[in-house]
Amino acid sequence: MIEYSESILDLIGNTPLVRIPSGVTGCRATVLAKLETANPAGSVKDRMAKYVINAEERRGNIKRGDTIIDATSGNTGVAAAMVAAAKGYKAIFTVPTSTSDEKINLIKSFGAKVIITPCEVASDDPRCHYAIAQRLAKEHGYYWLNQFDNQLNPEAHYSSTGPEIWRQTAGRVTHLFAGVGTGGTISGTGRFLKEQNPAIKVYGVEPHGSMFKNIHENRPLQAALAHKVEGIGTDRPVAAFHSKWIDQIIQIDDAVAFQATRLLSRALGLSVGGSTGAIYAAINQFSATLDKDDVVVFFVCDGGIRYMTKVFSDEWMKQNNFEVNEEPSLNAILE
């Protein structure tokens, strides 16, 4: 019998877990990477894009000939552009200048349009990518995905990602580590897992200077600071983030995140982006407290190929004052 799928969208989800060797993690626990890079558009955002668009079609909010628009740091744009192409919709995405060229080109490869906006402006500035997407949707009647505030975002992970992890670990998962950008992945997955076992610890990871930690701890919000890690962090409260399902928010420096990103690639052959490096660095902070019976799951949010001109470029790292372990020169090798 010939085995095949009817649509590329049928391949979203059911991503594998891979164990990280204890010699790398330095802890006794079983540490498992959830490879969201196995989704057809290459990131965890595939799940949300498919789920939201399918749900809105059923509700009659998206129909033939419509255009989908959203603000994104890249991965949602790539995922939603793929879904739009597969379903015959047009798509437009507003992205800040901090977005990698690789992700911008991936979005365009699916036939979507990209509007590049300044990254140094505040979230309430009309030039912000979020504000522009919202305005264009209103002016032209586009369907606004609104990943940051759409409750279908965490619902997507409650219905798929959480059950997958529970099944794959035979209910033995004890810790979940996830990046926090919109809050959808961690909120939906964390909710499902805690409903199965309230003792499961759920940790969110963001860059230093982001607001999620203060939001989670009910502290006064301060202006967000710039960071280089893409895809996680926020400069405003977002409705897709549900703090009640999260035990702690951990902040990681860009430099630490990027060193961990490179380590995973060079030590394990696991190509990841900076957000995954930040998540892995957060796990390392807890390694001494983890027991041999603990089962830790963390997300590989996207792949390193999207950041060849950034974290995997020695030149870019040096330009941004990040440490680079120099490779020996040809002369040094020959001497």
Percentage of the chain surpassing pLDDT 90?
88
As for how many domains the chain has, the answer is: 2
- The pTM assigned to this predicted structure is 0.94
Q: Which pLDDT band, with edges at 50, 70 and 90, does 120 fall under? A: confident
Whose tokens are 């490779």? That residue is 327
Query: Tokens standing for 250?
Result: 């951990």
Give a yes or no: residue 156 inside a domain.
Answer: no
State the Cα–Cα distance between residues 315 and 311, nearest whole angstrom. 9
Range of the domain at 278: 8-38+161-319
| Rounded (5°) CA angle 23-27-33 | 75
Dihedral (Cα; 212, 103, 162, 279), 10-degree rounding:
-50
Among 54-58, 301-305, 330-334, name the one with the lowest average pLDDT: 330-334
Which tens digit of pLDDT belongs to each residue from 172-228? 999 999 999 999 999 999 999 999 999 999 999 999 989 999 999 999 887 778 899
Residue after which a domain boundary falls, among 109, 144, 179: 144
Residues 123 and 240 in one domain: no
Give a yes or no: residue 310 inside a domain.
Answer: yes
Catalytic residue among 45, 50, 194, 228: 45
Looking from the CA of 25 toward its CB, the CA atoms found within 13 Å total 26
Residue after which a domain boundary falls, among 97, 113, 144: 144
CATH number of the domain encompassing residue 109: 3.40.50.1100
Q: Is 45 noted as a catalytic residue in this protein?
A: yes
If you average pLDDT over residues 250-265, what whole number do you get?
97
